[in-house]
Structure 1
Amino acid sequence: MKTILIVDDEPRTRLGIQKTLVTWSAGRHRIEIAASGVEALEWLKVNSAHIIITDVRMPEVDGLQMLEILAMRGQLPVVFVISGYAEFEYAQKALQLGAFDYLLKPLDKSKLIDIVKRALELDSGRERLGAMEKLVDSKLLVAGIDEARYSTVIKDAISYIYTHLHEAISMKQIADLLHLNASYFSVLFKEQTGVTFSDYLTRSRVQRAKELLVTSRMPIWEISEKVGYQTAKYFIKVFKDNEGISPSQYRHQVLDAEQIIQ
């Protein structure tokens, strides 16, 4: 039996999601609730959750801070976040920190159930392969945790990267957009993030490719285009250099694991 934890400080939203999932699961899954990030973290000290559905904006400890704390504990399950249109930047940040997906308010019940189904499938693959470590790039995670201390320039650069991952991006291009000398920008980026600009860009593209490989049935050539590579051949080379296996092998490992009955 899988456990799904709902974290939201708004009683109507929290109980509405719980009621929807209890009805849908029909006893197949355990549905738990927490009224705050603090309450959720306390609950998770003695319990475990396979899926966490959390609001991004909550008092004391918000959804992003909870993600960071769980990551540092080595206890990050499959998480997706709920946000309003005004909080969309928080949802983007959550994805950078390793969240599986996001859902915008007001919540659509069918979309909620669909995303829970996909999250459960992903959890099954991660559970059997130890794919949490493989799916979330540790250097990107560390860089994301430190992002609150970044200068506005570096935050803008990272935001641009994630918004334009599907396009050709160069360090000079972003430096020019930010009205900075490229050499100075290069030093600044490495100093604040701990990785070079090119390494960060490559890791971000591979990270997004892994998410698409796990959560979609897109062909490899289409995924390569979605993450900014002009040819599938070069994308496969970059992916293999970073992950040790090809994109197809990565996908098959997850799919094959999901067919195992334990």
Structure 2
Amino acid sequence: MYRILCVERNRHVREIASYMAGSRLKNFIIHAHADYSSDILRLIRSEGISLVLLNIRGTHTPGMRLCEQIRQGSSVPIILLGGSGDFELARQALLYNVSDYLTDPVDPAELGRSLETVRRGFAPADRPAAAQRDYAEPAIQNEKEPPSPCPIVSTIKQYVEEQLHHNITLKRISDSLNFNCAYLGQKFKQQENMSFNEYLLRQRMEKAKLLLETTDMKIYEIADAVGYTEIDWFYKKFRAYTGASANEYRKQCFITA
């Protein structure tokens, strides 16, 4: 069994354990608990810890400092629980190479998927016997399993959602995350089955359609709200995407309403 170290700000709180009980994932066991003042690195080494579950709910800054301390002496996988949707916080988590970042409210099933992703990443020599038997199954069975979500792709999508009204490029995002732009582009296309630019266009056009359907905003205001400073360029992109001009689309919505 893989050993999990649960880290809470308060050692008397056992919220992470309740999440684990709901995940029903095999091959993991909650081996030890600790609080933020514990010697986490010593516990990781002395207890043979395979994974750290770090609860950062309401303690984002101390939680990030603890991630930094762990990374100074260990590459053990870390899953953060209870984070906010703040992009800067997710960016810091990526810099510390966390395995996943689960925001509140944490879904036990989502945690289970994250743990399964971590388990698959362990080297064969590090796997318990039961896990090694899992990997002995035919490769065709593994091919049927859907790819696990990539945390960096989730962060990119969150950035797009929050900054849709600004000029967004993958290069700008990669610079802010300190990642290689080509690498991010490959990861994004691999998971989303479309390029980043295709995804960005879709998000902008779908948001524009929603605003045309539900608000009385002027067309130029909608264009600006979805990141277009050139109104003519917005008109061109919208027609190519929907087959109608923005004005025509709005009229059709009123007719069919």
When normalised by structure 1's length, the TM-score is 0.46
More helix per residue: 1 or 2? 1
- What is the TM-score of this pair, normalised by structure 2? 0.47
State which structure, 1 or 2, has the greater radius of gyration over its C-alpha atoms: 2
